């Protein structure tokens, strides 16, 4: 079997690329995915009128206007500013840890002192990585840093990643900084929202083109010897593509326990983190995203776990120096392949949010388009 364009993976990366190739280059695309559904880990469906994200809570947020506008072609956005709370010392407090969190957890005199010192040292509306705050020489800030490290970061990171914060690349721990601000939002991006009809509906519209064919329940490893193509765009695991010849890239995985409750609400917000209690990291309640009225509610308990080949899914690349170096070797191998493009979390071994995955796919398409025009 021969196709013009073979795209492996039907998540946001693959769907974006398929849409652009079909609509702008007017070329045929076959997109395959090992899963039984489109949209990858952004897949959602509807239960009791509630849009349930089957691979954990997803909030679209970006500062990239061209990405927001592109994805907005396929959905009406529901305005939504995400907030997260954490159970700390018996209270639900805002996360990332901010000035409101300080005033909720500490006596007023102590909270005022810590607030003044944070602003004096770092400024206002500034995000400070926890490991940077721990380096502070002031005894009061050192106390605060140790408190936040122990109560917010340490045990959560041990559950999420199976290692301590200082063992990870700062790009990971820096994703949830200490925020010297009164802003309770989890993200400060200009554009934030939830697709009104869900993420799966976005991907369906992206793929709704006569030149695009989708084949599910199809692993690239099973069909690669039976399909030839003029161009290959691969969003699967780059180490698997090269048959692990240099070794396997490590990942963390997740397991979810979905529970339906016969009551209007289960918890006080969309996501509650549990840094120190229980063996789950967080519980998501999906009706909050679209403010869905219903007499029932659906939540997911989220359990991080090691990735084991053939037993669960890859979710998060483990960003450490030795893993990045191994990926770089695979990336060098990829440069030797003609008309083959790697992208996505697994193809690039990058901790991408949805908007960055789309942006990367748009960039890859521009590269393909330029190469096509030069032929």
Is residue 146's pLDDT more than 70? Answer: yes
Region 215-234: mean pLDDT is 96
Region 60-65: mean pLDDT is 98
What's the confidence (pLDDT) of residue 105? 97
Residue count of the chain, please give it: 375
Band of pLDDT at residue 173, cut at 50, 70 and 90: low
What's the confidence (pLDDT) of residue 259? 98
Superfamily of domain 2-38+207-249+318-374: NAD(P)-binding Rossmann-like Domain (3.40.50.720)
What's the confidence (pLDDT) of residue 177? 85
User: 252 vs 172, which has greater pLDDT?
Assistant: 252
Region 176-182: mean pLDDT is 91
DSSP letters along 152-168, please? IIIHHHHHHHSS-GGGS
Is residue 287's pLDDT more than 80? Answer: yes
| Gap between the Cα atoms of 287 and 274, Å rounded | 20
Is residue 179's pLDDT more than 80? Answer: yes
Q: CA dist 237 to 92, 135, 277, Å? A: 38, 37, 33
DSSP code of residue 197: T
The answer to whether residues 252 and 304 touch, using CB atoms and an 8 Å cutoff, is yes
Among the listed residues 220, 287, 222, the one whose alpha carbon sits nearest the alpha carbon of residue 30:
220
Region 262-274: mean pLDDT is 98
What pLDDT digit, counting tens, does each position of 303-345 carry? Answer: 999 999 999 999 999 988 999 999 999 999 999 999 999 999 9
| Gap between the Cα atoms of 219 and 13, Å rounded | 17
Region 226-251: mean pLDDT is 97
| Gap between the Cα atoms of 236 and 11, Å rounded | 10
Is residue 374's pLDDT more than 80? Answer: no
How many Cβ atoms are within 10 Å of 373's Cβ, its own excluded? 8
How many Cβ atoms are within 10 Å of 230's Cβ, its own excluded? 12
What's the confidence (pLDDT) of residue 174? 62
| Gap between the Cα atoms of 199 and 43, Å rounded | 6
What's the confidence (pLDDT) of residue 175? 64
What's the confidence (pLDDT) of residue 221? 93
What pLDDT digit, counting tens, does each position of 50-59 carry? Answer: 999 999 999 9
The answer to whether residues 158 and 305 touch, using CB atoms and an 8 Å cutoff, is no
Tell me the average pLDDT of the chain: 95
What's the confidence (pLDDT) of residue 131? 82
Band of pLDDT at residue 167, cut at 50, 70 and 90: confident
Alpha-helix runs per DSSP H in the chain:
12-20, 65-72, 99-105, 108-122, 130-133, 139-148, 155-161, 170-173, 199-206, 220-223, 238-241, 321-334, 344-348, 354-374
Is residue 176's pLDDT more than 90? Answer: no
Is residue 69's pLDDT more than 70? Answer: yes
What's the confidence (pLDDT) of residue 134? 86
What's the confidence (pLDDT) of residue 375? 62
Percent of the chain with pLDDT over 70: 99
Is residue 263's pLDDT more than 70? Answer: yes
| Gap between the Cα atoms of 2 and 33, Å rounded | 17
Region 243-256: mean pLDDT is 98
| Gap between the Cα atoms of 352 and 314, Å rounded | 13
Query: Ramachandran region of residue 27, left (φ > 0), alpha (ψ -120 to 50) or beta?
Result: beta
- Domain ranges, ordered by start, for the chain: 2-38+207-249+318-374, 95-180
Residue with tokens 């899914």: 313
Token pair of 143, please? 């106390």
């Amino acid at each position: 079997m021969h196709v013009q364009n073979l795209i492996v993976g039907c998540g946001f990366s693959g769907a974006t690329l398929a849409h652009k190739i079909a609509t702008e280059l007017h070329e045929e695309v076959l997109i395959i995915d090992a899963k039984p559904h489109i949209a990858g880990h952004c897949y959602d469906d509807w239960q009791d009128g509630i849009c349930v994200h089957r691979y954990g809570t997803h909030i679209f947020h970006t500062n990239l206007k061209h990405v927001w506008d592109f994805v907005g072609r396929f959905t009406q956005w529901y305005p939504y500013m995400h907030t997260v709370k954490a159970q700390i010392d018996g209270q639900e407090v805002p996360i990332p840890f901010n000035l409101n969190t300080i005033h909720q957890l500490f006596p007023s005199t102590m909270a005022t002192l810590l607030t003044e010192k944070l602003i004096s040292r770092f400024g206002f509306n500034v995000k400070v990585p926890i490991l940077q705050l721990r380096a502070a020489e002031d005894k009061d800030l050192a106390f605060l840093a140790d408190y936040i490290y122990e109560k917010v970061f340490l045990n959560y990171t041990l559950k999420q990643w199976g290692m301590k914060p200082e063992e990870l690349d700062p790009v990971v721990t820096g994703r949830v900084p200490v925020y010297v601000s009164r802003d309770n939002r989890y993200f400060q991006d200009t554009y934030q929202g939830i697709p009104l009809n869900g993420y799966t509906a976005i991907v369906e519209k992206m793929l709704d083109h006569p030149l695009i064919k989708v084949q599910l329940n199809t692993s690239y490893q099973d069909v690669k010897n039976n399909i030839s193509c003029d161009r290959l765009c691969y969003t699967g695991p780059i180490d698997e593509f090269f048959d692990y010849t240099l070794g396997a890239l490590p990942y963390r995985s997740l397991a979810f326990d979905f529970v339906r409750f016969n009551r209007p609400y289960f918890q006080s917000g969309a996501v509650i983190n549990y840094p120190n209690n229980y063996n789950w990291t967080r519980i998501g309640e999906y009706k909050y995203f679209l403010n869905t009225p219903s007499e029932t509610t659906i939540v997911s308990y989220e359990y991080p776990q090691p990735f084991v080949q053939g037993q669960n899914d890859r979710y998060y690349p483990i960003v450490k120096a030795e893993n990045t170096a191994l990926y770089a070797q695979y990336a060098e191998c990829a440069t030797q392949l003609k008309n083959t493009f790697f992208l996505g979390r697994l193809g690039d071994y990058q901790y991408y949010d949805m908007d960055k995955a789309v942006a990367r796919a748009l960039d890859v398409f521009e590269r393909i388009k330029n190469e096509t025009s030069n032929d």
